Each structure stands twice: as C-alpha cells, then as structure tokens.
Amino acid sequence: MNQTVFTDKNTGLGTMPVFFTSISTILGAVLFLRFGFAVGTLGFWGTLLIIIMGHLITIPTALAISEIATNKRVEGGGEYFIISRSFGLKIGSTIGIALFFSQAISVAFYIIAFTEAFTPFFNWWADYYGYELPRQVVSVSSLVFLALVILLRGVGSGMKMLYIVTFLLFASLFLFFIGKPLESGDMVQTVASQNFGFFNNDKLFVVFAICFPAFTGMTAGVGLSGDLKNPGKSIPLGTLGGTIGGLIIYVLVIWKLAVSAPQADLLQDQLVMSRIAVWGDIVIPIGLAAATFSSALGSILVAPRTLQAIARDQSFPFPGANKFLAKGRGGNSEPVNATFVSFLIALVFVIMGSIDMVAEVISMFFLISYGTLCLISFLNHFGSSPSYRPRFKSRWYFSLGGFILSVWVMFMINALYTLVAYVVIALLYILIEHYNKTEKGLADILEGALFQLNRRIRVFMQKQQSNNEIREWRPSAVCISPNSFERRKVLELMKWISHQHGFGTYFHFVRGYFSQETVSECRDVLQQLIELQRGKDSGLYIDTMISPSYTSAIAQVIQTPSVSGMENNMVVFEYDKNRPEELTRIVENIKLTKAGNFDVCVFAGSAYPLQTRNGIHVWIKINDEKNSNLMILLGYIIMSHPDWSRSQFKVFVTTNTNNIEDLQERLGRHIEEWRLPITMANIEIVTLNNDQPLNDKIASCSKDAGLTLIGFDDEIFKNKSGSYFQQFEGLGDVLFVNANV
C-alpha cells in the first residue's frame, strides 16, 4: 500500500466553518428531545454531572485533535488523516473505516430525529385522514434532498445551508431563554426547589446512555481539513470553540428547564421547551429541525471525505474500489462517488426508522475514535519523539484520562455493543494488515512509548539497587561465544535461565577491529540469531561484540550494563567436550570475571541431542555449601521453562560417613533456613567409599540426565589446563557452577 500525497486545492474555508460544523452537530436532537427528560429524572445536579462526564471525554479529544493538527500538515480526511499519519496506515485505515460508518449512520440518526419536528403535521394527518402517515415520507425525502444538494452543488452550497440552519438554531435557543416558566408566582420557587433537590443516582448511566450522543460531533469540523485554508489554525480554534460553546449552552439549557417546568411536565412532554419559549409552538420545532438537519448536513459533508481519504491511501484490498471511491470532481476534488455511497448507507438506516437502535451503535464507534485520538496524544507525549513539536500543546494526563474514560463509558453504556465494536475493529485490522504487511503497525506505534518506559524503569531500578544492599537474588547472566550457529545448546541454556525468574544476554563474538566490514557482519549475524529465537518462547536478549581477542571481549562484556536494568551477576562460558583445548582460554579468563565478583558457569556441551525429559541432576559434594545453594536455585529456574515440564529435578548429596540420619537433619535445616525450592523427596544421599572416585559415581547415576550441575572451586585457577572439567566422561551436557560468596 502506497502513501499518496493529497493534492486537492482547498476552497479557502476559514475557522468559522469548522466552528459552525462542530457547534451545529453538537447542538442536535438530544438537546431538544431528551434534556427535559434528563432534568426530570436526575434533577439539575444529576444532569449537570452527565454533562461534565461527557465533556471529560470530548474536551481531551478536542485538545488532542488540536495538538496533533498543529504538529504536521493536515490534509483531506480529517480525523482519519490525523490517526493514519500518527498511528500508521494500518491502524489509521481500521479506525477510519469505523469512523466513516459512524459518520454515515449519524446522517440517518439526525434525519430520523429531524422528522420528529413534523410531529404536529403527522398528528394532523392522522386526525384528518384517519390513518398514520409513515415517518419515512419526510425522512427519506429530506435525505434525498440533502444528498442532491451536496452531490450537485458541492461543499460551498452545503456551507451556505449550514449558516442558515445554524442561525435558526441559535434564534430558537434565544427565544427559549427569554421565555417564561410554566408556573407563576410562588410556584416558580417550588418548581426550582424540586428540580434542584433530587438526584436518582441509580438511573445515572441509563440517562447518560440516552444523552451521550449530544456530546458527540465536536470533531465534525475536522472533516473539512482538506477544504481549509489554514488547518493548523482553524481546527484548534473551531473545534475547541464548538466544544466549549456547546458546554456553556447545555448548562444554560438545563438550568432554564429546571427553573421553568415541574418534574411531571419534564418527564411527560419531550417538547416541553416549546411551552417555555416565546412563540414556542413554532420556533422550537423549527429549532429542532434546524439542529437535526444541520447535524445531518455536517455529517454528510464529513463522511464522504473520510471515505475518499481512505481510498486515496489504497487502504482497501480491492484496487477497483480504491479508484472508484478516491475519484473527485472539479478543482476541489469533490468526493462525488464517496458521497453517493454514504447516502446509500444512510438511506438503509433511515428506512429502518428506529432512532434508538442506531444511537448506541453511533456512540460506540465515535467513542472508539475519540479514545484513539486521546491515546495518540498520550503516546506522543510519553514517547517524547523529537519530531513531535505541535504549536498547540495539551497535557498527557488529559489525553490519558480521556482514553480511559472513553473505554469505561463504552462498557457502561452497553457492554455487548462495546465487545462487538472491538471485535469488528480487530477483524478490520487483521484484514488490512494481511494485505499491507509492509506498512507501520502496532509495534511501530508503541516503540517510542516502550523506549521511554524502559528508560524510566532502568533508571528506577538502578536507584533502587544503590539503596538496597541486600536484595533477593536472581540470575542476570551474560554469555559470549563465537560459535552461535555451530552450537545451539548454549543458546537453549541461556533461554532457560532467562525464561521467568532471571534475565540473560547472549553476545555473538566477532574477532577483529571495529570497522565498516565487521559492523556489517554483526548486523547480519544479529538478524539471523533473532530469527532463530523467534517463536521459541525465548526471553533471551541477543547482541554482538567486536573485539580483537577473546579476553578483551570478556572484559567488555562483563562491564556492559544489562538491558534489564539490573546489574549482571553471572558469566556463562561454553565449550565443546570434543574440543577440550578450548578449556585453556576459558580457565584463563575465569579469574578475570572473578575480579568483578561474578558467579561463573562453564557449560560443557556434548554431542548428544537435548534430552530434557530425562530431568536435571544436581551434585552437591561434601562440604560444598558455597556452590550448593546456587546450583539448586539454577536447577529450579531452568526447570520452570516449559521445555522441562515433563522432567524431574533431583539432588544428589555425597558423603563418606554412615551417619545418614544426622546428615538428613542438617539438610532439612539448611533447606528451611535458605528457603530452597526442594523437599527431602528430591534429595538422594550417596555414600562414597574411600577409594571410589566421585566422577565415577556421578557418571553411573547421571549418564542419562538431560543436564547435570556440578560445582567447582577456585583451585582450578592453579591448573590452567582445565583438567578438572575433563574428569566427568560418560555424561551428557554438564553445567559447572562456581558461586561468588
């Protein structure tokens, strides 16, 4: 999928079209038809709480849109453009398609609500002719008229109509505010005290679900981004102005209702505003018609542009569909085909005619887009990308709060619709990702945030380590080897150590000096090693090390800070049993690692394949408490990996005395004191004769073990040949352990 550069010439629209599109979409059907019911159910303070809750979502979203819009050039597609250029085309297309459907269905929602303004006409028709006229007579005709105006005359005519209906809307509200209460005299005080004196908190979210569509729509003006002269200026001013203006008007309306009508009238008459306003029987239906028609007009202007922008990015898996929907007319590239498709979708829902059925669906998809925009803003803040330099800046906690509240409100409104919405989003993303594998995806989006999170965690852990002398031990092992592809067993060992309880870093050693050639070689090797570990349930971190000698490489590795944030405390060497000459370089460098107080492990890999089902054997020699705890803990940690799920863990304790009971008692106390992860059932006491070599006994008992752990002490440094490690013939893979105590 190729990113296309939009080349439309804008029509030179300024800030006011964004403001009027936003405010006219916000002040819609719910304002006239449901706010009286809300005040009658919850009282003034309960309804005020609903308005505040709604704007705790919409204001952070408006701030996020304003911020992102001033960070980069905003072109056609509005919210879709912002999401796709910030999150990438995979997620942008996914959210964009959901956003388009919510916008297109919104047209139907507002047209159906617009029809309610003709209730007196429908009542007259039923009384005069004796049967009820279908609501679709008005709703379908209105939708067709609206679509024809947009298709034939374009956005310019739409904006002229928008100015007219917005004027009618504000005129009707003005006449409502100067209207008189339904009661007079002392009854006015009684009405006011009643409506300010109750709050049915058990019905709060029921009413919230009914009223929430009133708070959507503040992003409608963003959809005109491709037609704006200066989107970076007009979008913040118009969007925030519409959002805050809507908030003020809502508070004034519920206050006017609370002081003007008794509770019974508020609950029973959905057009109670018409009885309060001056010339209310005329102006309130006109205001309702203007509000709903302007909202429908705003949506029908925005939805096609969203769809056209998606198609121009080649987001659909069908090239023919992309070409058809991206097609525009005239110098402004009016989205004629996309408008026609939007009209057909709206027509289906208008014919269905149920306003309650579509209201919650619209809310779900709008909330997904609002939450996504807040999440984008938060991740950009948290990730601290140098390229993110918006002229208008919000605050990360506003964005995070808006995202969390959006998700929470979705579940409070309708948990089933929420799950369905997220399932649809997930399926859309999977489909788009399947056809566009090379585009930016989820991992790329989170990269900056994960970088900052990792950085902060590492700094925190370093500070904690410096303040705590005594910490619970866990392995943080490093291993370096030039034989990564010839000997895979050590990679498996490091994978086991770093699975759950520890952390491991493996370095592939490249002998040489730092140069363009060695760097290129390291990059190729690193990519191959990462691919080898992919899908192996591996938590091992892999890197490369260039150095002129093995000793200098060891010195570099043991000074390299761990990416886990904790200090490395263990060095793992490896050699092939069939190549004992390698022991010389290992023994020579063990002393180097001991200078840094590291635990040391030497892995002796055999020619036999891995036999994890045969279990792990730990051999504890007489008076070798120094290494015993570390070997038992390592065996336990390795056993936690799924590769060893069907094997057993066994500890052999050697002794040359016959006082077995005394030894068992001491072992029991030792296990309890050090909280070792074994029981006496895991321990077998092996009595050695005075003339019986230990290595023969180990070979006879552990020849079939998957892994054998044996301790060694510092005396081997005196014998640089490494002969100690060659004594244990007949065993499979062996891990020699030396604890730094």
541-547 and 683-687 as β-strands: parallel, antiparallel, unpaired?
A: unpaired
Q: What is the pLDDT of residue 386?
A: 61
Closest C-alpha to 273, from 252, 294, 293: 252
Q: Work out the angle at residue 617's Cα, subtended by the Cα atoms of residues 589 and 697, and round it to the nearest 5 degrees.
A: 90
Reported residue count of the chain is 741
| pLDDT, position 734 | 94
Q: Given the structure tokens 């709703």, which residue do they identify? A: 139
Report whether 703 contacts 718 (CB < 8 A): no
At 710 the pLDDT is: 93
Spatial contact of 275 and 269, defined as CB atoms under 8 Å apart: yes
Beta bridge partners, 511, equal 547
Residue 572 confidence (pLDDT): 95
Token pair recorded at residue 130: 């004796």
Q: Give the chain's residues under pLDDT 70.
A: 1-12, 71-78, 86-87, 153-162, 183-193, 198, 219-227, 298, 331-332, 353-357, 360, 383-389, 437-446, 448, 455, 458-459, 461-472, 565, 658, 674-676, 717-721
* DSSP, res 565: S
DSSP state of 562: P
CA distance 228 to 9: 9
Long-range pairs for 585-592: beta carbons < 8 A, 24 or more residues apart: 585/550, 585/551, 586/722, 587/716, 587/717, 587/719, 587/720, 587/721, 587/722, 588/551, 588/720, 589/550, 589/551, 589/554, 590/716, 590/717, 590/738, 591/717, 592/551, 592/554, 592/555, 592/558
Q: What pLDDT does 82 receive?
A: 73
Could you give phi then psi for residue 477, rounded to 5 degrees? -100, 145
The amino acid occupying position 314 is Q
Q: Report how far residue 169's alpha carbon sits from residue 291's, in angstroms, rounded to the nearest whole number.
A: 6
Q: Specify whether the CB–CB gap between 667 and 683 falls below 8 A.
A: yes
Q: How far is CA 560 from CA 224, 496, 555, 567, in A?
A: 53, 21, 9, 9
**What are the C-alpha distances in Å from 486 to residues 56, 67, 491, 557, 578?**
59, 53, 11, 21, 13
pLDDT for position 225 = 63
Residues 6+ apart with CB under 8 A from 116: 29, 33, 288, 292
pLDDT score for 4: 38
Give pLDDT, residue 471.
Answer: 59
